[in-house]
Structure 1
């Protein structure tokens, strides 16, 4: 092979890498420049500019996350992606928890943002990923129907790999631990330490999984085909820069959303609970949607499962610690409204685990999650929250009873070492 022939593939690889990353860099740069200028834009302008920059950073994260599977296990790659994607939520929640140490009135906002983002993830995120995956599946089915008529009769569902039972088992354990919060009316530092220990264990557990040869296309393939040192530097660089961008722009994006909501006359508590999480969850949603749109729906759901583990262990666990550091006591107190929100979030989590315990996510259960989420979003009275919590709990118990044989292996999955060949 001549030198010219050798350089041609390398040139194509660089073009497939440099052009997309250049477009992402331009979109991100306009948001960062606006943020660093100190000029506060109109709410609508801020939502568009900062939102586009965050979405662009999420695209870069998705590309780097796929390419990272060349060097690390898929489970760890998904876990790292999920951590970076929910960094804005950590920043917002920990800010409220820290300030609650000196101003107790801020405690409600920490709980509101955390419970709102958790319920948004399951009630809207999971069903939307399934919808995107179904549309992709339907398009592929139409193309294949002329060759294989039986394709049209096959029901659609997202089938998860057995590795995801690790996340499901940890969510079950964490959900049982978090029931102490509504029972005691507080998040104690000791509970926080226990949840953080679960999170650290989770990261270690997924890092020990085996790494299969990934099937990469497009930008991830271009990154993955780079020489080892260049590939790793590129992946780490994208992770770090995307994390910085997301953290830098999450606050002004959330402020733009809240300012727009206030202009529309929406209550502050509801703004923090629902509009701010739109900013904090945006990167994670975009990454999961990208995977679903590319026919990797199981990986999209896996990212959201990993994010849920992060939120339900590390995020909840750090709230009382941030409160203590901010000058508060050894427990972050919860009022009646916050207790109701935790019950609602915990029961929704248990139902989500019960739905996926068979490693299959179908349309009817996605519809059930969305309808119940919409009900709690529309009907905000105390009675409505308790009713929806009761429905979540009843459905979860029924599903767990129906699939009781899967419970022991789900609880054991996080602690079972995978035998290496």
Structure 2
């Protein structure tokens, strides 16, 4: 095993070891200390999980690899969310937390993760253009996505529309959970049938050290990292989730706020770092593709699994939502619709990224019910305006998950021809 890889694995294990000791001995000195100990273990295990998942693409190529990578990357979030849902089956006080982590993580992913990748990718494109003596090129203002992204965007669009069923019902019904899980299964099947571009996968950072190992040793290392990191996450998820709630009470901080935002920061950090590393290598489209796949996973498999966990925890067949969670789902779904509208034309403009960050920041100032619904309405209005401007891309995007992309609409021919030269240059930069 390469020395840099070994050092990083040992460091992660060292960070996680106090949590293992706490869990084995039952030692729990203080909720705040528990929060940091078990939270650090989740972050360390998440890094190992992300490195292994990325390196696994060496043996699993194509769109399916991206989907599986995105699924594995959100496993820490699954562990925390499903614990809350399971616990809510026997303790009604935990119902308010069942979906809090998911809505926070989902909005963090789109409101912070997407723009971060775009800013980094456009910065790299600008530096590349300057090195080549090119000034004022659109590559420094717009990140162009490949045509293969249309299938993922189409599925995300469908799921974003279906997501409004949850606040309308005021619960996540068991039958609706199965619908979402079925969509996820169909997404994996579709991704497995998708054809890649034939390009050899590029690896960055720690994943590169793993990918360069001989086949047998590489696969053994990947499997071992999967098993060890999963064991750490499963061991730490319950005490970490409990410590989040208890720390809020002891510190006088809203426990819902900690569950919604602190836990996602821990679970999403490795994924954000990997996405930024891709963008720094000029692979901004691939980075955005991974984050899009993560949102699909969250809206389908994660949300669909919550009522199932609630049922096995001793609750009913439906997971009830209180008024606060209804507001959070409306806000999260409306933000997702706006995100889909921004990328439906396979172009991510830097000003769109600025708008996402700005509206994401506003939600921390607007904390009342009326404010959340007004912000949701702003998301929808922006989405409708952008969708009208890119109306020719709506039907091909919605059709992409079900069949091959439809032929370009006659009205769009001129616009697509204008984009053609830009996309060719973008591919050469990336």
TM-score tier, shorter chain, comes to 0.7 to 0.9
Are 2:89 and 1:101 equivalent residues in the alignment?
yes
Residue ranges of structure 2 left out of the alignment (5+ in a row): 406-430
| CA–CA distance in structure 2, aligned partners of residues 69 and 345 of structure 1 | 30
Residue ranges of structure 1 left out of the alignment (5+ in a row): 1-16
Q: Please give the residue correspondences for 1:15-414 in structure 2 after superposition, counting only pairs within 5 Å.
A: 18-38=2-22, 39-40=27-28, 57-138=45-126, 140-141=127-128, 145=130, 147-150=132-135, 154-211=139-196, 212=198, 213-216=200-203, 219-250=206-237, 264-414=251-401
Deviation at 1:401, TM superposition (A): 1.7
Cα distance change on mapping 1:262 and 1:374 into 2, 3 Å? farther
- SS of residue in 2 equivalent to 1:206: helix
| CA–CA distance in structure 2, aligned partners of residues 277 and 222 of structure 1 | 27
Query: Which has the larger displacement, 292-301 or 365-374?
Result: 292-301
Q: Work out whether residues 35 and 249 of structure 1, in 8 Å CA contact, stay in contact via their aligned partners in 2.
A: yes
Aligned length: 399
- SS of residue in 2 equivalent to 1:295: coil
| CA–CA distance in structure 2, aligned partners of residues 44 and 334 of structure 1 | 28
Cα distance change on mapping 1:242 and 1:210 into 2, 3 Å? farther
Query: Which has the larger displacement, 258-267 or 321-330?
Result: 258-267
Cα distance change on mapping 1:294 and 1:106 into 2, 3 Å? same
| CA–CA distance in structure 1, aligned partners of residues 349 and 118 of structure 2 | 8
Q: Work out whether residues 57 and 283 of structure 1, in 8 Å CA contact, stay in contact via their aligned partners in 2.
A: no
Deviation at 1:277, TM superposition (A): 2.0
| CA–CA distance in structure 2, aligned partners of residues 192 and 276 of structure 1 | 23
| CA–CA distance in structure 2, aligned partners of residues 348 and 181 of structure 1 | 15
Deviation at 1:233, TM superposition (A): 3.0
Deviation at 1:129, TM superposition (A): 2.1
Deviation at 1:148, TM superposition (A): 1.6
Normalised TM-score (structure 2): 0.83
Q: Work out whether residues 31 and 249 of structure 1, in 8 Å CA contact, stay in contact via their aligned partners in 2.
A: no
RMSD: 2.8
| CA–CA distance in structure 1, aligned partners of residues 270 and 316 of structure 2 | 33
Normalised TM-score (structure 1): 0.85
| CA–CA distance in structure 2, aligned partners of residues 297 and 99 of structure 1 | 39
Query: Which has the larger displacement, 311-320 or 152-161?
Result: 152-161
Q: Work out whether residues 20 and 232 of structure 2, in 8 Å CA contact, stay in contact via their aligned partners in 1.
A: no
